[in-house]
Amino acid sequence: MRRKLVVGNWKMYGNLAWNKALLDAAVEGLRDYRNADYAICVPHPYLWQAQAILQGTNIAWGGQNMNQFEGGAFTGSVAPHMLVDFGCSYVIIGHSERRELCNESDPVVAAKFEAAVKVGMKPVFCIGESREEHEAGEAEEVVARQLDAVLTRVGAEGLAKGVLAYEPVWAIGTGRGASPHKAQSVHAFIRKRIASLDSGVAASIRILHGGSVRVANAAQLLSMPDIDGALVGNASLVADQFIAICRAAN
Ligand code: PEP
């Protein structure tokens, strides 16, 4: 039985006072909900604050990106061990916004996945097709290519050290997510592809769903057999909404 996981992605939002209110509310609201896992990925400058408030609670924290190299002349970048220094258990890798806005290619994403695992973090590895690819019926082809880039680099055993997040790009931030059945069919496809290499890994790896997961659709999405949790953007910025989605996973 795979334990559900809900990961909040704050993106580039927050300030010290606002973060504190949201983190305190999440700690309070989830204290007694111990049948699922939760994490919040905050902007890098606030990792110390997330660590200070969340350590010792049932909510983990993480970064939203990192460099694949251990160190070097990469102005503005953050190395994997730096996230570990602030207690991160998770790091989001290959989010569509970084693939699109920062030209992160499949090989770069695969290198980041490997680097995160090497320092003991769990990458939350995002895959998903764009609207054009979706409309052209290419969803499976695209997620297979993105998945294979990581599988080629680290194998199924390596993949097992992370978490997958299927996020159809056309659903992110739109308020119009994929229907539970449509989402389930791509999740099942992903699991089947992993099973063709290693059935044990396929059975145990968590595949989260992302893209306009809200209070209204969370329970239905989370009831699908191959949806093991959620990666939540917008709704993770509102304490009551994030807590309600986490409780649905619990
Ligand atoms: C995301 O950014 O990963 C995301 C899923 O955003 P939203 O929930 O706002 O669609």
Which of 219, 220, 223, 241 lies closest to 232, judged by CA? Answer: 241
Each of the 250 residues of the chain gets a pLDDT tens digit; together they read 899 999 999 999 999 999 999 999 999 999 999 999 999 999 999 999 999 999 999 999 999 999 999 999 999 999 999 999 999 999 999 999 999 999 999 999 999 999 999 999 999 999 999 999 999 999 999 999 999 999 999 999 999 999 999 999 999 999 999 999 999 999 999 999 999 999 999 999 999 999 999 999 999 999 999 999 999 999 999 999 999 999 999 9
Cite the active site residues: 95, 167
pTM of the model: 0.97
Which of 184, 183, 189 lies closest to 212, judged by CA? Answer: 183
The Cβ of residue 69 has, within 10 Å, a number of other Cβ atoms equal to 14
Place of tokens 């396929």: 202
Place of tokens 């996973």: 249
Distance in Å, CA 52 to ligand 1 centroid: 25
H-type helices in the chain, by residue range?
Answer: 16-30, 47-54, 80-85, 96-101, 106-118, 131-135, 139-159, 180-195, 199-204, 215-222, 239-249
Q: Cβ neighbours of residue 223 under 8 Å, at least 6 residues apart?
A: 180
Nearest CA to ligand 1 atom 2: 233
Whole-angstrom Cα distance, residue 128 to residue 148?
13
Q: Is 173 in the pocket of ligand 1 (CB under 6 A)?
A: yes
Query: Which domains, from first to last, does the chain contain?
Result: 5-248 (3.20.20.70)
Q: Which atom of ligand 1 is nearest to the CA of 172?
A: 10
Distance in Å, CA 208 to ligand 1 centroid: 12
3-class secondary-structure state, position 18: helix
Whole-angstrom Cα distance, residue 60 to residue 82?
16
Task: Measure CA 197 to chain center.
Answer: 23
